[in-house]
Chain A
Amino acid sequence: MPREFQRGHKARISDLTAGTDLYVGVQITAPGLTFDISCFGLDADERLSDDRYFIFFNQPKSPEESIQLLGAQAGDTESFRITLDRIPQQIQKLSFTATLDGAGQMSQISPGYLRIVAGGEEVARYAFNGSEFSSERAVMLGDFYLKDVWRFAAVGQGFDGGLDALLKNFGGEVGGEGAPAAPQQPQAGAATPGFAPPAFGAPSAPAPAQPQPAAQGFAPPPGATPPAPAPSVHAAPTIIAPLTPPGGGHVPPPAPAPAPYGQPPQPQPYGQGPAPTAPMPPGYGQQPQAPQAPQAPPGYGQPPQPPGYGQQPPFGQVPGQQAYGVPQGAPQGGAGVAAALQQFKETPTGQRWTQQNRKLVRVDLGMGGQPVLARQGSMVLYQGKVDFSYKGAGFAGRIVGNATGQEMQLMRCTGQGQVFLAENSTMLHPIELQGDGICVSAENVLAFDESLQYEVRRIEGHGIPGGALFTMQFTGTGTIVVKTHGTPVVLPVTPTTFADCNAVVAWSSAAQVVVSSQVRMRRNAYPGDTGESVNLQFRGAPGNFIVVQPYEV
């Protein structure tokens, strides 16, 4: 299931896939137009300091072959193979761009996408369409950039000039005039912090894209130009924000781009074989790369061609009908148990609550010094001197718990050390409360700081089986870990927000007032509803949210 990216979203590559050998496919088409799709390998100053890392039709691979142009295949107008761990030190950023060849403008393009495929699985997809652009002649689609680790950002920023202007923007030289571009660089460099936040950074201020004369090497600071649809969801201080996993892919902004799946397939890349869509300038015909890829034009009616990974220099065999060679070589990362398991290593410590991966969370009891209450049996591993003891609810608590079903079988973890918590491969979401509150149904609580107060709250309404519905309200300062089956959706509370009471996991109990996000029960919320399911309606001030899981208990 690929993660859907919107313009401005960013994520660590390691969160998308453990692999470093990636296939990047770009589909961008428009009736009657052709595109040049290229990849710029930029240094720390966002300059194309080494021309050999400008990967385009005339230069289909970088010197050490960490970036390779593969050509059109499998529905993609252009595709690249990126081997992240072979990219040299000085290359800090790969920018994927598409430029129009000939007349036309970007607003004419059909819906397209940039996708990342790893190990035969599509892990990320950024869809765009012509309505996001206007008269631009080029577009920067997405970036891979190195900030501690390699990350991916869906950029989707239009650009007025053609390929040479783009090249100039990156400090490359077209012919002999590279000098004017140099003064622009500080500007571009100053904008880089826009890429810094690991989560979706606040979308930059919408600056109108001024059409500039293409002659002077214009360098609009990357990240500032597009009139980014700044969804209020992002700007609003939702309390879930601080600990949202990088990328925050499950916070859906209003989607401007239609999903690419529904559209009729673009005929253009299919009919023509391996030839590039661009008219061939001299020098293209060499085709020094990709011996396999061109043999079969990908697409309909043929055995699906594996996207990318066409050439593995050491084992230059084509899979399929020939003898199955068994390469016995060591894998890329090196051989041995340690190397193979390197990707699953513990993440570095430093915080009290650390999300190890989407299904494992680690709490360092030594930090903060307060005990943690966790669901019984949720400990999978611990190191250090940790004591687990039974946490009773008390007499009153048991009575209430029994009566309402909001009962938690808890254990108290005390001592010094790290405890890893997980349960049944459910996804975990640490939520940091800073004096505000959140309502969670008891069965979705995995663990929380003992400093949090919690109480059972009753939701009244007609037509609820049992007369009422109960939930746990957590307030105070600390972290609570909520678990969901599957990737949840976090919806901002609007006047018309409904959720199935079986699928809703949590909702913010109003940031400002204690009970301002009122919960109403409605029977027959939808016509045809038999009344057996109860829908919850949520109301509240902007900034409140609800969390719904794709799983009805």
Chain B
Amino acid sequence: MNQPLAGYAPAPVTARMENHGNHMLKVALQTGNDLLARVGSMVAYEGFVQYEPNPPAVRQIARDWMTGEGAPLMKCSGDGLLYLADYGANVVVINLNGDGISVNATNLLAFDAHLTWGVERVKGLAKFAGQGLWNTKISGQGWVALTSRGKPIVVDCGGGEDETYVDPDALVAWSPNLKVKGKRSFKAQSLIGRGSGEAYQMAFSGQGIVVVQPSEDSTDRLRVRG
């Protein structure tokens, strides 16, 4: 009966964060090595895991996030295996190893609590903050998991003066050392983007990468559910 399903059993743990399939994240939790994850992203766990939504430390760092209604993060602690997912979005696991990455708030799934992180508003794009172009800058030695609607693509910005332009709805993450600019197409004829008549892109330049998802659906499903 379970013969076809047996292939989906979890593989043995080899790292703190791993993909189970393309759409699920498996985290090995250990006491003293806490995890911050999006509220509502837990789909299963095994072992002794405790959850603390909106912990004080997070509130301090993320007090600006979403007009102060509380950061959508929970602290997971204990010993066990934790499975996280975000409505079937692809999950990308990154071992930072000293690097830093700037992640769109919607696309952040989980990260190690001991990492250095902070919430900031994307400079120059404040006017576009209809759905919140907040990003979380994370760096240090540890693991981060991102979500992406569809398999993402990573583009190297090249390092020169050339700019790479990204639709903000499709943006997932970028290297924090890139220069970010808002770009508006002023031509009256330019009508790109979501049929709104607004044409704007984010321009990145410098040495680093940009991660983009193949979808312009940037709604925060975990938040919409509440």
A and B associate in one complex: yes
The answer on a CB contact under 8 Å between B92 and A335 is no
CB contacts under 8 Å to A, within B164-222, are 164-167, 170, 175, 185, 187, 189-195, 199, 201, 209-217
A383 touching B6 in the complex, CB below 8 Å, given contacts A120-B20, A425-B217 = no
CA distance A494 to B13 in the complex (A): 51
Given contacts A119-B21, A261-B4, A338-B209, contact A422 B150 (CB under 8 A): yes
Residues of B with C-beta under 8 A to A217: none
Q: Are B212 and A121 in contact, CB atoms less than 8 angstroms apart?
A: no
B191 with A327: CB separation less than 8 A: no
Stretch at the interface among A146-154, A372-380, A456-464, A507-515: A372-380
| Complex CA–CA separation, A331 to B145 (angstroms) | 14
Please indicate the chain B residues that have their CB under 8 angstroms from the CB of A422 in the complex.
Answer: 150, 170, 213-216
* Complex Cα spacing A345 to B210, Å: 10
B137 located at the interface, meaning its Cβ lies under 8 Å from any Cβ of chain A in the complex: no
Q: How far is the CB of B103 from chain A (nearest CB, A)?
A: 11
A388 & B192 in contact (Cβ 8 Å cutoff)? yes
Q: Is the CB of A326 within 8 A of B94?
A: no
Q: Which parts of A340-394 form the interface with B (CB within 8 Å)?
A: 340-341, 344-346, 356-360, 376-377, 379-384, 386, 388-390
Kindly state whether residue B152 has any CB partner on chain A within 8 Å: yes
**A336 on interface, CB distance cutoff 8 Å:** yes
Binary per-residue interface labels of chain A (493-521) against chain B in the complex, 1 for a CB within 8 Å, 0 otherwise = 00000000000000000000000000000
In Å, the complex CA distance between A130 and B76 comes to 52
A118 to B212 CA separation, bound complex (whole angstroms): 24
What's the nearest-Cβ distance from chain B to residue A366, in Å? 13
**Could you tell me the distance between the alpha carbons of A383 and B165 in the complex, rounded to whole angstroms?**
6
Known: A306-B9, A360-B214. A381 touches B151 (CB 8 A): no
The yes or no answer to B29 lying at the interface (CB within 8 A) is yes
B47 at the interface (CB under 8 A from A): yes
Interface mask (A253-265 → B, CB under 8 Å = 1, otherwise 0): 0000000010001
* A396 within 8 A of partner (CB): no
Contact B215 A425 (CB under 8 A): yes
Q: Which residues of A contact B201 (CB under 8 A)?
A: 382
B10 at the interface (CB under 8 A from A): yes
User: Chain B 3-20 against A: per-residue CB contact (8 Å), 1 yes, 0 no?
Assistant: 111111111111110111
| Cross-interface CB contact of B93 among A25, A340, A384, A390, cutoff 8 Å | A340
The reply on A411 being an interface residue by CB < 8 A is: yes
Contact of B7 among A74, A261, A336, A384 (CB under 8 A): A74
Q: Which of B16, B98, B154, B190 contacts A345 (CB 8 A)?
A: B154
Tell me whether A121 and B8 are in contact (CB under 8 A): yes
**Closest Cβ neighbor of A117 among chain B residues:** B7
Q: Are A381 and B4 in contact (CB under 8 A)?
A: no
Taking the closest CB of chain B, its distance from the CB of A374, in whole angstroms, is: 9
Q: A324-B30, A381-B165, A381-B212 are in contact. Are A376 and B193 (CB under 8 A)?
A: yes
Asked if A310 is at the interface (CB within 8 A of a chain B CB), the reply is yes
Q: How far is the CB of B113 from chain A (nearest CB, A)?
A: 13
Complex contact A381–B167 (CB within 8 A):
yes
Quick check: is B118 within 8 A (CB to CB) of the other chain? Answer: no
Instruction: Indicate if B38 sits at the interface (CB-CB under 8 A).
Output: no
Is B79 part of the contact surface with A, judged by Cβ < 8 Å? yes
Select from chain B the residue with minimum beta-carbon distance to A315.
Answer: B14
Complex CA distance for A359 and B194, rounded to whole angstroms: 18
**Do B166 and A120 touch (CB < 8 A)?**
no
B52 part of interface (Cβ distance < 8 Å): no
Please state if B97 and A357 are interface contacts (CB–CB under 8 Å).
no
A515–chain B nearest beta-carbon distance, Å: 34
For chain A, residues 247 to 305, give those with C-beta under 8 angstroms from any C-beta of chain B.
Answer: 261, 265, 292, 298-300, 303-305
Task: Give the shortest distance, in Å, between B170 (CB) and chain A (any CB).
Answer: 4
Q: In the assembly, what is the distance between CA of A74 and CA of B99, in Å?
A: 40
Q: How far is the CA of A423 from the CA of B195 in the complex (A)?
A: 13
Does A208 touch B at the CB level, under 8 Å? no
Size bracket of the B interface: 35 or more
Q: Is the CB of B155 within 8 A of A381?
A: yes
Closest residue on chain A to residue B4 by CB atoms: A261
Q: Is A329 an interface residue (CB 8 A)?
A: yes
Give the residue of A318, A346, A386 whose beta carbon is less than 8 angstroms from that of B153. Answer: A346
- SS class, residues of chain B in contact with chain A: loop
Write the chain A residue with the least CB distance to B2.
Answer: A304
Most buried by A among B152, B187, B192: B192
Q: Which B residues lie within 8 Å of A192 (CB)?
A: none
Q: Do the beta carbons of B199 and A346 come within 8 Å of each other?
A: no
Q: Does B64 contact A (CB under 8 A)?
A: no
Q: Is residue A330 contacting chain B, with contact meaning CB distance below 8 A?
A: yes
Interface residue A450 (Cβ < 8 Å from any Cβ of B): no
- Which residues of the other chain, A, contact B28 by a CB distance below 8 angstroms? 324-327
Q: Check B185 against A388 for contact (C-beta < 8 Å).
A: yes
Question: Considering only CB atoms, which chain A residue lies closest to B13 in the complex?
Answer: A319
A122 within 8 A of partner (CB): yes
A121-B22 contact, Cβ under 8 Å, with A304-B6, A341-B209? yes
Is B54 positioned at the interface, with any CB of A under 8 Å from its CB?
no
Check B11 against A119 for contact (C-beta < 8 Å).
yes
B11 shortest CB reach to chain A, Å = 4
Interface flags, A432-457, vs B, CB<8A=1, else 0: 00000000000000000000000000
With A and B bound together, what is the CA distance between A377 and B13 in angstroms? 41
Question: Is B6 in contact with A74, judged by CB distance below 8 angstroms?
Answer: yes
Residues of the A chain whose Cβ atoms lie less than 8 Å from the Cβ of B175: 337
Does any Cβ of A come within 8 Å of B75's Cβ? no
The distance from the CB of A387 to the nearest CB of chain B, in whole angstroms, is 8
Please provide the chain B residues from 1 to 57 with a CB less than 8 Å away from any CB of chain A in the complex: 1-16, 18-22, 28-30, 33, 47
Q: B18, B94, B95, B217: which has the most chain A beta carbons within 10 Å?
A: B95
Question: Would you call A306 and B12 a contact (CB within 8 A)?
Answer: yes
Q: Is A80 an interface residue (CB 8 A)?
A: no
A329 to chain B, nearest CB (A): 7
Please indicate the chain A residues that have their CB under 8 angstroms from the CB of B187 in the complex: 389
B11's closest neighbor in chain A, by CB? A309
A107-138, CB < 8 A from B: 115, 117, 119-122
CB of B216 within 8 A of CB of A377, answer yes
What are 29 A-B interface contacts by the 8 Å CB criterion?
A: A119-B21, A119-B22, A120-B10, A121-B22, A300-B3, A304-B8, A304-B9, A307-B7, A309-B11, A309-B12, A315-B14, A326-B13, A326-B28, A337-B209, A338-B99, A339-B95, A359-B150, A377-B194, A377-B195, A379-B193, A380-B166, A380-B212, A380-B214, A383-B162, A389-B187, A390-B190, A420-B212, A422-B216, A425-B149
Q: Which A residues lie at the B interface, using CB under 8 A?
A: 18, 25, 74-75, 115, 117, 119-122, 261, 265, 292, 298-300, 303-310, 312, 314-315, 317-319, 323-331, 335-341, 344-346, 356-360, 376-377, 379-384, 386, 388-390, 409, 411, 420, 422-425
A74-B7, A300-B1, A300-B3 known; 10 other A-B pairs, CB under 8 Å?
A: A75-B6, A319-B12, A319-B13, A327-B28, A337-B94, A337-B175, A359-B214, A379-B167, A422-B215, A425-B217
By a beta-carbon cutoff of 8 Å, the part of chain B in contact with chain A is 1-16, 18-22, 28-30, 33, 47, 79-81, 92-101, 149-156, 158, 162-167, 170, 175, 185, 187, 189-195, 199, 201, 209-217
